[in-house]
Structure 1
Amino acid sequence: MLPLTIVCCLLVGAVAPVSGLAAVPAAPAPTPTPVAAIDAGPLRAQTEDASGSFGQDNLTVTRGNEVTISVSHSGPANLTIGGSEYGFDVTVQLGGSGSTEVVLDTRATTAADPNEFIEGGSPTMHSDPLEEAIEPEDYLLRLEVDGVEQDLATLTVEPRGETTAASYRAPASFTPEEYTGGGEDGDADVGTLTSQMSAGETVARGDYAVVRFEESGLETALNASDLTGSAAANGLKVNFTQTDPGPNHAAREYVATAGANVSVLPNFENDRIYVLWNTSGVPIEDRSGRNRYRAALTLTDESGLVASETTLATTAFALEAPSVSLSPEGDATHYPWENDTFTVTGRTNRAPNTTLEVRLRSDDPNAFLQLRDATVGGDGRFAADFDLGSVSRGTNATLWVREYFLQTAQDVYLVAPDPSVRIDDQTANGTSLTVASAEIPSGGFVRLEDVDGESVGRSDYLEPGRHENLAAELSTPLFESQRLRAELVRADANGSYRANAEAYADDGVVVNDTAVIDFPPAPTETPAATQTATATATPTPTETPYPVVTRTPLAPAGATQSSLPLSPGVAVAAVLALGALLARRGRGGESS
């Protein structure tokens, strides 16, 4: 029974001492630990205070470009991109606390070392390296802080879009190196280029052939100094290749490198790349078909975006020898009355916005050289104005476009015309005569003179230039056929006429011409009508083409004024009567 008793005692514990056994002192009951004290331990407190989040819910990136993942975390954190189920599993350890930016280069994800395609934090790749860049898909983003998941987001990798190419041309004066790196994030400043370039496939040798590529997913692949398609070029290739080199000839090829006269101006803000090919060193062949080139943008397997070489976009160019033509707007003879401005125009196949220098030069005794810049318009035309106001007349000059002398040189005649006047024999038409022609360099009048050199009429003011069949009005009536002289005289500074105006002269001889002018006969007086008892109507005077000047003879000095003049018969009778009267008075005296 004793064993059973012992077992029972053990089952009931120390409630009662077992009979027959030595008494064992009871162990003190442990003090229970309050539950609240356990929950307030340091590890649990830290977990409750931890936090973390993404700067945005979801992200989108084009395959081949970079994407920035912004993370806020209260302490050390882990960022997971993808996972084993995506075939792309990378974690990025983020130390400390605060905000961190993790940059993922989707093009470089073929690298075995994740540090080559992730910046920010310490990355670890848990999946095998990719053979090609990460494929388009929605990838999970997971953020853990202190081992506790704090936030989730989605990274969407979109497929690359279509790449296109377009042909342009730009003037040779453009300097690409001045605009490289002038924009944000390494972009070039392309504002000046886009304002100067113009669409077109035909390029004059010496100008730039410009290709504008609309790109997608090539931001991280571009090495502006090397576009050969090699590993150094990140598998990106741009080249200009002759399309028809002819039999037994290798095609000429110009690959975009720093030493091939090819410049690259990226503009990723607008998803564009501008490639400029300086054609000044490209030979021009006689057959136009052999001056055609194909520009292409190609990806090689070094890019990580394609498995084999793939051409993304192409465009074409046709090279031509530069041509320039030039001609005066009127003709090569310029008269002083045609204006002081001498305008010349031209055409060229040089790129619009090209500046050409037009020259006008004379080495005559009064030598001069004038230079004018002319800008080529969109239609290939240009113009320049020369000021001939201070240039001596009677000068021959040479006109040409600098660098294109053989194509454009021509003679220009700055004429100092001899003044001339011509008047033909004629019958006067009333008070007006017709002057057949007059050529007057500086403006003035045609003056009419009689054989005594007295002025008898003139024309109205004549502008500089040639005039034909002009009218000259008589200033005094003429009635007899006579020879008159027409001469050219100068006007005052204000264009008015002076009686003593200086005449134009040629080699010291007054410029003039003479002609016989027939005038209608002078009007005759009509005899006074005999008075009759019956009143008759007063006859109407006969009209004459000239005003008639009537003058009253002056009376002898000391004579008695009379209202009626005496006829000779009356005067003789008066004298005889006076003599008889005196004789009678004498006889009367004697008889007295």
Structure 2
Amino acid sequence: MTGTNDKVRSLFLSALMVMSVVAMGTAFTAGAVADTSGNATVESLEVTQNRVLEADDSRSSDIQTQTVEFDAYLESGDTEEITIDTADAEDNGLTIDDVSVDGSTSSDVSVEDVDFDDDQITFDLSEDAGGSTVNDATVALNVDFDVSDGENANRLEHVVTATGDDGSTTLSPVTATYKIAGDYSKTVNGEDSVFAGETIRFTPGAENTQIEVYTTDDEGAPTNNRVANFNTAFDTAINFDTSNLDTGETYNVQISGSGVTDTDYDLAVNDLGLDAEARDTQISTEDRIVADITSNANLDDPWTATLLDSDGEAVEDDNGDAIERTGSFSGSGAATVRFTAPTDSDHYGTGNYSVEVTHDDTGITSETDSIEVSEAGDGDVSFAGDGVFTEEAGDVANVTVEMTNTDEATVTIGTEDQGYYIVYQVSDESGDGQVSLEFNSYTAGRTSQDNVVSVANSDDEIEFLTQGGDFTNTSEAVGSDTLDPTEYEMNASVGHVDMGTDDYTDSDALGSLSLQPRSTDGMQSWVTPKGTDISDLSDDVGNIYDEIGSSITESGEVAYDDGDADGDTVILQLEAGGIEGAIDHANGLKTLIDNNQDNDDDEAIDLTIEQTNEDANRNAKTLDFVNDDAISVIEDPENNSYFIAVELSKVDQPTRDLAEGDNFEATFTIEDDNVLNTIDDNEEVTSDFTLVEPNTELVTNSDDLILIESASGQTISGSTNYAPGTDLNVRVKSSDTASPFQTRPEATVQTDGTFTTEGADFSEVSPGTNLTLQTRRGGSAVGDEYDGRIGEVPTASVSISNQTTDGSTVTVDSVTTENGGFVAIHLNNASGEVIGNSEYLDSGTQQDVEISLDSALDENATVVAMPHQDTNDNEEYDFGDGDGADGPYTENGSAVTDSASITIQTTEDTPTPTDTPEDTPTDTATPDEGEDMTDTPTDDGGDETTTGDGAGFGAVVALVGLLAAALLATRRNN
């Protein structure tokens, strides 16, 4: 425990420490240190030479000297041990090279046993004359600092203490302050923003200028919370490390002092977010060291990455230079740094390393975790999977080579005996242990090898050696002939080796590329709503498959309004294999079709979209697949699919406008003499679609009215031929001028073409108000206008009691409905599953309504009875939220319900009675009138039997309970 004396002592020490803080002046005079006799040992500590240690590139020498002077006070024969703590200097990269005595103004004072390391200097201060006292003798020491590795700092603080002969240490250390000039990232003279951690420079322009930094409040005004306070001291400028400032905050900087105009301004602190992460933390000497860098840096900001050893020192190459990489950040602030595989040399081999990345503009750094490099085993290469890759002839085959303990391999496809081969060297620059090659079987042998194979990962590298064989003839045009469907041998060897060497012929891995005959398989039509983001589908073809069945549905009818030239989007899905290589070489299907339209008619590849029901004496309307930007292609060659999106709302042709009723046929053709054709006739697939008038129908009652209750949560249902996923709204407005009202609840078309609006609030609309309802898409009306009316909320009540059943039925005691309807039974609660419903019930009150359940209950349960209206007047219960659903009766916006517990009855075995022996008397004596049976003793005076619920049993239980409570209370007290 801390006693009063200790508290007083703590306060006293704190006070002494506070009293030791000295206002900085030109000489930086410090307070005195008292010796054990009560006399001052040293005082007036100051620097007389090189007050500013220059540690930046402007320094004249790596060794710079500070001369430290102080006044000595010693009694006769005293010896004091003096310590100057230079830990601040060490923390900022300075080392002490030497300490020497410059001299003393008194011959009676000597400095002996000078010793030093990087964080302190010690020496003995003695009075040598004997019998006399030394007062105010000036002693000077020269301290040589090596500043070659000096880092940024505002000032250095040297703490001086003196120790007497009795070993006690003085309580009041003396502090002297020095400044070191170092590198900084930017000069701040007014409102500005910085990255937390960068060192900035304030330049008030005068010595001894005070600079204070305060937090700000939500309004941007400075608070009383000062987070930094420093002084320019001997210079007119000073550096400031922002590491201790919080990111995302704005601070107020206040500058004052003699020779400057008092000023203040805001300083915003941002997060650079610099982070370096090693891609692998355990690698071999065959692997590259790869680190991924992320940051909030600006585009093209430069960075430097340094390879560090386990001691945090820069790794040097054989020339003694630090191993570094430089680069600049991308627009996202990202970058990747790679170092060559360790060579197991004297400088760079097995061991632990890290990568330190520096943002050059600010000096902010980030370091990866430790990367362990171990000796690599023998290198090995293999083809992924079972080594067999299958594609259709004419497609682009992906061949993946896997590497272990090496990042270089030589790969070949084909052989001279097969009439074609190609050889290339690959390098795993991405560091993922594999290189995926994309081999274009359409261009192979008809163009330079650079246009035959590429790498899937742009970080990897490939260098071609040769391609050859009887088939190879690069003077012939691409598409003049293609590789035959067959199985082509493949092999791979470790390292980059030359064609024909033993390493190549004696390969490390074998595989095969199986090219199958290609085919053109079919075409089908899909429809999707106007406004579907085609670019989003193009960026990730998987989005198409995700939307199929919801906003993309198979259909040959496409809603199109020729009045507004507006309609849905058609998506034609072409299914064809073996055309990927040709499309890839042409940079797209549109370009491939455009290029091939100039071929002879019997060699063309074409895709046309042409009207099939043209009017008499009129040419058929055609959609220009190649030149209309409203027609785009989304490629999925991996699944032999190419989606052609025709946005009808954007087409700018044909010369005659599209019209409702136009029927179009899309035809993809590969003519019989084209090199890709695999049959004796044209390869041709087609798909039709028809433009139909957009239409919607709303659900009405038998009187062709739409009745809406004067309540909240009201919905309107209908159907349409617009594409599923289309957004519609229904404009509902009163036709009575005395009760103006309008709302537009929204709806989305479902896959079956139905829609139901979101719940709308009609509770403020008076019953009897007449309405008109019109479905709209965007700003245009669709379909007919309907009449409607606001009606009173029909009433209903229901009652159901707890009951025991066999689980197949439940009985509702009573149900009353104003307009007739049904009673639905929900399991557990009102939103639970509907497990049964009644037949149609006339309006009025019905008693004891037995309802058969869809499946029998096999355990006890809670059920909820809920009356429903016959919304569509068909006397059939239609449950759900869609078109024609029978909604529940409501009261105050909530469904009318009652609940009950259902107990499932069980059948128990009845014991078989045993016969009474003939010799057992059956007559029981009848007591005389008035006889007190309670006093009748037992026959044998034996134990009395008491039933479990008798009075005797209750008393025993009570007594046991009281004893237990008493014991528990006693235990708690203990």
**TM-score bin, normalised by smaller chain:** 0.5 to 0.7
Give the alignment's TM-score, normalised by structure 1: 0.53
Q: In the TM superposition, what are the counterparts of 1:366-385 in structure 2 within 5 Å?
A: 366-384=739-757
Match of 1:195, SS state, is coil
Match of 1:83 among 409, 415, 419: 415
State the 1:391 CA deviation: 0.2
Q: 1:218 aligns with which of 579, 582, 585?
A: 579
Match of 2:486 in 1: 137
Task: Report if aligned partners of 2:422, 2:466 keep a CA contact under 8 Å in 1.
Answer: yes
Aligned-partner SS, 1:231 = helix
Q: Tell whether the 8 Å contact from 1:333 to 1:415 is kept in structure 2 after alignment.
A: no
Shift of 1:334: 7.4
* Gap change, CA 1:302 and 1:194, over 3 Å in 2: farther
Q: Which of 596, 607, 611 is the matching residue for 1:242?
A: 611
Higher helix share: 1
Q: 1:166 to 1:133 in 2, by over 3 A?
A: same
**402, 405, 409: which is aligned to 2:776?**
402
- Post-superposition Cα deviations, 1:494-551, rounded to whole Å, max 9, x if no partner, equal 9xxxxxxxxxxxxxxxxxxxxxxxxxxxxxxxxxxxxxxxxxxxxxxxxxxxxxxxxx
- The answer for the alignment partner of 1:175 in structure 2 is 533
State yes or no: 1:412 paired with 2:742.
no
- Could you say if the C-alpha distance between residues 299 and 72 of structure 1 is closer, same or farther in structure 2, counting changes exceeding 3 Å? farther
What does residue range 3-152 of structure 1 map to in structure 2 within 5 Å?
Answer: 53-56=381-384, 57-67=387-397, 68=399, 70=401, 79-92=411-424, 101-109=436-444, 111-119=446-454, 120-126=462-468, 127=470, 128-129=472-473, 131-143=480-492, 145=497, 147-148=501-502, 149-151=505-507, 152=510
CA distance in 1, matches of 2:530, 2:791: 38
Equivalent in the alignment of 2:546? 191
Following superposition, the deviation at residue 76 of structure 1 comes to: 8.5
- Pairwise CA distance, 1:327: 4.9
- Deviation for aligned residue 1:400: 0.8
Unaligned runs of 5+ in 1: 1-48, 417-439, 444-461, 471-492, 495-592
Give secondary structure in 2 for the equivalent of 1:164: strand
Is 1:355 the counterpart of 2:727? The answer is yes
Q: Distance in 1 between matches of 2:619 and 2:783?
A: 33
- Equivalent residue for 2:801? none
1:117: Cα distance to partner?
0.9
Q: 1:341 to 1:102 in 2, by over 3 A?
A: closer
Query: What is the letter of the counterpart of residue 192 of structure 1?
Result: E
Instruction: Tell me, in whole angstroms, the C-alpha distance in 2 between the residues paired with 1:96 and 1:441.
Output: 75
SS of residue in 1 equivalent to 2:593: coil
Tell me by how many angstroms 1:225 deviates.
7.2
Change (3 A) 1:339 1:101: closer
Please give the alpha-carbon distance, in whole angstroms, between the structure 2 residues aligned to 1:246 and 1:335: 45
Instruction: Return closer, same or farther for 1:269/1:201 CA change in 2, 3 Å cut-off.
Output: same
Identify the match of residue 636 of structure 2 among 232, 256, 267: 267
1:64 aligned counterpart, secondary structure: coil
- What's the CA shift for 1:121? 2.0
Q: What SS does the corresponding residue of 2:535 show, helix, strand or coil? A: helix
Q: Distance in 2 between matches of 1:364 and 1:225?
A: 59
Distance 1:155 1:414 in 2: 72
Describe the superposition over 1:160-200 as per-residue Cα deviations: whole angstroms up to 9, x where unpaired. 244222222222242212332135xxx66542355312222
Where 1:163 maps in the other structure, the secondary structure is strand
SS in structure 2 of the partner of residue 178 of structure 1: helix
Q: 2:664 aligns with which of 290, 293, 299?
A: 293
State the alpha-carbon separation in 2 of the partners of residues 54 and 102 from structure 1: 13
CA RMSD of aligned residues (A): 4.7
Q: Deviations over 1:428-473 (max 9, x none)?
A: xxxxxxxxxxxx9999xxxxxxxxxxxxxxxxxx98789xxx9xxx
Check 1:157–1:396 CA distance in 2 against 1; reply closer, same or farther (3 A cut).
same
CA distance in 2, matches of 1:341, 1:191: 31
**SS at the partner of 2:744?**
strand
- Note the alpha carbon deviations across 1:113-145, whole angstroms, 9 max, x for none: 222112332142334327322110122334564
| C-alpha distance in 2 between matches for 1:212 and 1:175 | 17
Higher strand share: 2
Count of aligned pairs between the two proteins: 378
Q: Which amino acid aligns with 1:245?
A: E
Shift of 1:302: 11
**Which residue in the other structure is 2:516 paired with?**
158
Deviation at 1:100, TM superposition (A): 5.5
- 2:611–2:621 contact (8 Å) kept in structure 1: yes
Question: Which runs of 5 or more structure 2 residues have no equivalent in the other structure?
Answer: 1-376, 455-461, 561-566, 797-815, 821-843, 845-890, 893-974
The one-letter amino acid of 2:420's match is: F
Give the 3-state SS of the residue equivalent to 1:136 in structure 2.
Answer: coil
Please tell me whether the aligned partners of residues 227 and 236 of structure 1 are also in contact (alpha carbons under 8 angstroms).
no
1:582 aligns to what?
none
One-letter amino acid matched to 1:179: L
Q: Distance in 1 between matches of 2:706 and 2:412?
A: 84
CA distance in 2, matches of 1:190, 1:340: 38
Give the C-alpha shift of residue 110 in structure 1. Answer: 5.2
How far apart, CA to CA, are the structure 1 residues paired with 2:817 and 2:407? 95
Alignment equivalent of 2:594, drawn from 204, 227, 230: 230
Matched AA of 2:692: E
Structure with the greater relative contact order (CA < 8 A, sep ≥ 6): 1 or 2? Answer: 1
Question: Structure 1 residues 380 and 111, CA, compared in 2 at 3 Å: closer, same or farther?
Answer: same
**What SS does structure 2 have at the residue aligned with 1:230?**
helix
More deviation, 345-354/188-197: 188-197
From 569, 572, 591, the equivalent of 1:208 is 569
| 1:388 aligned onto 2:762 | yes
Indicate if the aligned counterparts of 1:50 and 1:75 stay in contact, CA closer than 8 A. Answer: no
In the TM superposition, what is the alpha-carbon distance from 1:87 to its structure 2 partner?
Answer: 2.6
Residue 295 of structure 2 corresponds to none
Letter in 2 for 1:125: Q
Cα distance, 1:413–1:103 mapped onto 2, change above 3 Å:
closer
| 3-state SS of paired residue (1:179) | helix
Q: Which has the larger radius of gyration?
A: 1
Paired letter, 2:669:
T
Distance in 2, Cα, partners of 1:401 & 1:239: 35
**1:228–1:255 contact (8 Å) kept in structure 2:** no
Over 3 Å counting, the alpha-carbon distance change for 1:92 and 1:314 in structure 2 is same
